């Protein structure tokens, strides 16, 4: 139930944690099985001091297990967890200096917001006056000074999650762990809290690991995003790089939208696709049939009475509209166009689809 664990040194009064005080966190060769289920299978990953590192991946890929290992709630079968180069694998959870916020608000229902925030300090024997001052400072930090006396049931989900964040920061953790902290909130509150958490995290300079299965959340908040797959690291990179230069087809399709278009091998480093011959970005699979992976914004589309593609559907996204387009061979692809342009391509209309003359990402065709 407790969302925070105590670091060893006593908390001095003052800011939640000093800017630039972020720790380096390293997972080295982490393995963990639960019966026949493999949760982690050799996870290697480093969080840099002060960065917000998002752990992103499909359900069951081991994100939460990795986070719990850092918190000390879970232990690896093999491998180690290091903070600032020191192996903490055998250190008890309450001595690790991590603060955690969970998906469910997990506040103590019988304590006020201020008492919830001060709880860990009380456990650690901090005097009443200092506790109260510190709780007030932290509630102020998360914009809730005016709700200090409220009980959890008297607060909205977003407010409760802010209190949980203040509580996690109260003990000046060296590392902040956020496990899907926004997923129980409605869309608007979620967006507001994203920005708040990010601003706070940057102001405090606290190394933060953020578990989410929401790629938009990961891309919009993180300094770097680690994509996990079946208990291993698939790729870690800054959001823009992950999106533009995915290392694998798995990352390409997990992060953002991708369409697959059948392609033919052409020489050792090119493919023939949509009537053009294009260089391959990365490796060309040695054998098998091929698909090119294309982002919706990369496709060029134009209305064309003699075009062999057909617009099948349109979904309005604001400034852009995403069209679903059927190619001559029956393949369906997604194309994002400025909404004004998309207006000239109503559902049912014929069109021409083309690719820009740039290297393309290629993957083995999947058997349906």
62 binds ligand ATP (CB under 6 A): yes
Residues touching ligand ATP: how many (CB under 6 A)? Answer: 12
The residue among 34 and 316 lying less far from ligand ATP, judged by its C-beta, is 34
Strand pairing class (52-56; 224-229) = parallel
Distances (CA, A) of 337 to 95, 300, 342: 53, 9, 6
39 binds ligand ATP (CB under 6 A): yes
The residue among 62 and 97 lying less far from ligand ATP, judged by its C-beta, is 62
99 binds ligand ATP (CB under 6 A): no
According to DSSP, the residues that pair with 78 across neighbouring strands are 31
Which of 5, 17, 24, 64 binds ligand ATP (CB under 6 A)? It is 64
- In the complex, what is the shortest distance from the CB of residue 195 to ligand ATP, in angstroms, rounded to a whole number? 23
Which of 6, 47, 51, 63 binds ligand ATP (CB under 6 A)? It is 63
CB distance 63 to 217 below 8 Å: no
79 binds ligand ATP (CB under 6 A): no
Which of 5, 24, 65, 160 binds ligand ATP (CB under 6 A)? It is 65
57 binds ligand ATP (CB under 6 A): yes
CB distance 273 to 310 below 8 Å: no
CB distance 96 to 88 below 8 Å: yes
Of the candidates 219, 70, 332, the one whose C-alpha atom is nearest the C-alpha of residue 324 is 332
Region from 2-10, 57-65, 232-240, 328-336 binding ligand ATP, contact rule CB under 6 A:
57-65
d(CA 368, CA 290) in angstroms, rounded, equals: 14
- In the complex, what is the shortest distance from the CB of residue 108 to ligand ATP, in angstroms, rounded to a whole number? 24
The residue among 63 and 162 lying less far from ligand ATP, judged by its C-beta, is 63
Which of 15, 60, 79, 350 binds ligand ATP (CB under 6 A)? It is 60
User: Pattern of binders to ligand ATP over 198-217, x per CB under 6 A?
Assistant: ---------------x----
Distances (CA, A) of 204 to 14, 174, 176: 12, 10, 11
- In the complex, what is the shortest distance from the CB of residue 254 to ligand ATP, in angstroms, rounded to a whole number? 12
75 binds ligand ATP (CB under 6 A): no
Which of 54, 61, 225, 280 binds ligand ATP (CB under 6 A)? It is 61
Report the site for ligand ATP in 5-34 (rule: CB under 6 A): 34
Which stretches of the chain bind ligand ATP, using CB under 6 A? 34, 37, 39, 57, 59-65, 213
């Amino acid at each position: 139930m407790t969302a925070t664990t105590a670091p060893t040194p006593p908390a001095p009064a003052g800011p939640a944690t000093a800017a630039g005080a972020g720790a380096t966190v390293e997972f080295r060769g982490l393995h963990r099985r639960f019966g026949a289920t493999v949760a982690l299978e050799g996870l290697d990953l480093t969080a840099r001091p002060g960065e917000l590192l998002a752990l992103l991946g499909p359900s069951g890929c081991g994100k939460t297990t990795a986070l719990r290992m850092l918190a000390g709630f879970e232990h690896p079968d093999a491998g180690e967890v290091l903070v600032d180069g020191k192996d903490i694998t055998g250190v008890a959870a309450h001595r690790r200096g991590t603060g955690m916020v969970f998906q469910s608000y997990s506040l103590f229902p019988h304590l006020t917001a201020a008492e919830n925030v001060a709880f860990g300090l009380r456990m650690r024997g901090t005097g009443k006056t200092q506790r109260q001052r510190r709780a007030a400072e932290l509630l102020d930090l998360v914009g809730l000074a005016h709700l200090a006396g409220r009980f959890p049931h008297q607060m909205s989900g977003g407010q409760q999650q802010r209190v949980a964040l203040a509580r996690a920061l109260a003990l000046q953790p060296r590392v902040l762990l956020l496990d899907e902290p926004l997923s129980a909130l409605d869309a608007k509150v979620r967006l507001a809290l994203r920005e708040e958490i990010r601003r706070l995290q940057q102001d405090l300079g606290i190394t933060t690991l953020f578990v989410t299965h929401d790629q938009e959340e990961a891309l919009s908040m993180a300094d770097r995003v680690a994509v996990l797959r079946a208990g291993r690291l698939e790729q870690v990179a800054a959001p823009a790089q992950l999106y533009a230069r995915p290392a694998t087809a798995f990352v390409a399709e997990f992060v953002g939208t991708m369409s697959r278009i059948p392609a033919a091998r052409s020489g050792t480093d090119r493919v023939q696709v949509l009537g053009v011959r294009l260089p391959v970005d990365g490796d060309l699979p040695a054998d098998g049939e091929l698909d090119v992976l294309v982002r919706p914004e990369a496709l060029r589309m134009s209305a064309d009475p003699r075009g062999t593609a057909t617009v099948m559907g349109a979904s309005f996204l604001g400034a852009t509209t995403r069209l679903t387009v059927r190619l001559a061979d029956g393949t369906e692809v997604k194309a994002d166009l400025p909404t004004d342009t998309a207006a000239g391509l109503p559902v049912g209309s014929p069109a021409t689809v083309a690719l820009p003359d740039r290297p393309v990402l290629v993957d083995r065709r999947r058997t349906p």
